[in-house]
């Protein structure tokens, strides 16, 4: 029973350690912007490295907004992946009467580090009965063992994003922030983490209004 609980706890810790975490910095809100009800949101996610729409992050943001009751269209849904034409996007946004435009510029950075081999002495429990040796009959013996961990290379992936929110009509910038996503285990996980933080702050700032 104890072993099973320890395994469950270890699995939980491993799961928690694998979740992406997002931190927003340099967040700004237009002090003169008057909050108003929002129904339709257009989401643009651009992968800076390739200058194409990032459908994975767009989808994550769309899901986070839809869960709050907003109608969402993403750039990947309306255009080809490489069709970064600001005039076409502007015409689309106006024609479909969007209330807000959420723009994300996504960049990634991966660093590698090497951990050399290491050997450590690990003592065994002292309550292991061994009979005749180790102190006589009924005595206890506390052996130990050398544990060697192989050297390995690990990679640390981080995602940086610049997020801007524009009010429509007028194309006025009403909110912006820089985001850092760490402990990245995949675009889906990172996208969910980033979107949850951004949507939470937009609701708190009165940019997203039911």
Say if pTM beats, i.e. exceeds, 0.75: no
Higher per-residue confidence, 55 vs 11: 55
Mean pLDDT of 171-185: 92
- Whether residues 49 and 95 share a domain: the answer is yes
**Residue range 116-132, pLDDT digits in tens:** 777 776 665 555 454 43
Instruction: State which of 126-135, 137-146, 182-191 shows the largest mean pLDDT.
Output: 182-191
The enclosing domain of 32 has a CATH number of: 3.30.160.670
- Whether residues 71 and 138 share a domain: the answer is no
For residue 121, the model assigns a pLDDT of 65
Q: Which long-range contacts (CB under 8 A, 24 or more apart) does 55-60 make?
A: 55/81, 56/187, 56/188, 56/191, 57/104, 57/106, 57/161, 57/187, 57/190, 57/191, 57/194, 57/195, 58/104, 59/191, 60/188, 60/191, 60/192, 60/194, 60/195
Number of structural domains found in the chain: 2
Q: What is the C-alpha separation between 120 and 144, in angstroms, rounded?
A: 10
**Is residue 200 predicted with pLDDT exceeding 80?**
yes
The answer as to whether 7 is a domain residue is no
Is residue 116 within 8 Å of 132, Cβ to Cβ? no
The answer as to whether 194 is a domain residue is yes
CA distances from 189 to 124, 166, 192 (A): 40, 26, 5
Last residue of one domain, picked from the residues 149, 172, 195: 149
Higher per-residue confidence, 66 vs 133: 66
Q: What is the C-alpha separation between 65 and 38, in angstroms, rounded?
A: 11
**Residue range 93-119, pLDDT digits in tens:** 999 999 999 999 999 865 555 567 777
Mean pLDDT, the chain, rounded, equals 81
């Amino acid at each position: 029973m104890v072993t099973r609980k320890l395994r469950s706890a270890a699995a939980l810790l491993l799961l928690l350690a694998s979740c992406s975490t997002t931190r927003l910095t340099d967040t700004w809100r237009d002090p003169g912007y008057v909050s108003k009800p929002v129904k339709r949101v257009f989401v643009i996610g651009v992968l800076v490295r390739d200058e194409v729409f990032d459908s994975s992050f767009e989808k994550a943001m769309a899901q986070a907004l839809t869960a709050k009751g907003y109608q969402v269209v993403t750039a990947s849904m309306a255009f080809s992946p490489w069709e970064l034409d600001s005039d076409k996007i502007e015409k689309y946004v106006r024609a479909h009467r969007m209330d807000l435009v959420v723009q994300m510029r996504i960049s990634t950075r991966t660093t590698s580090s090497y951990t050399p081999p290491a050997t450590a002495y690990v003592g065994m429990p002292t309550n292991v009965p061994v009979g005749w040796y180790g102190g006589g009959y009924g005595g206890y013996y506390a052996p130990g063992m050398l544990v060697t961990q192989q050297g390995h290379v690990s990679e640390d992936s981080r995602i940086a994003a610049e997020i801007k929110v524009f009010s429509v009509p007028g194309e006025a910038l009403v909110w912006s922030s820089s985001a850092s996503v760490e402990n990245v285990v995949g675009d889906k996980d990172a996208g969910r983490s980033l979107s949850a933080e951004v949507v939470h702050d937009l609701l708190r700032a009165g940019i997203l209004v039911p």
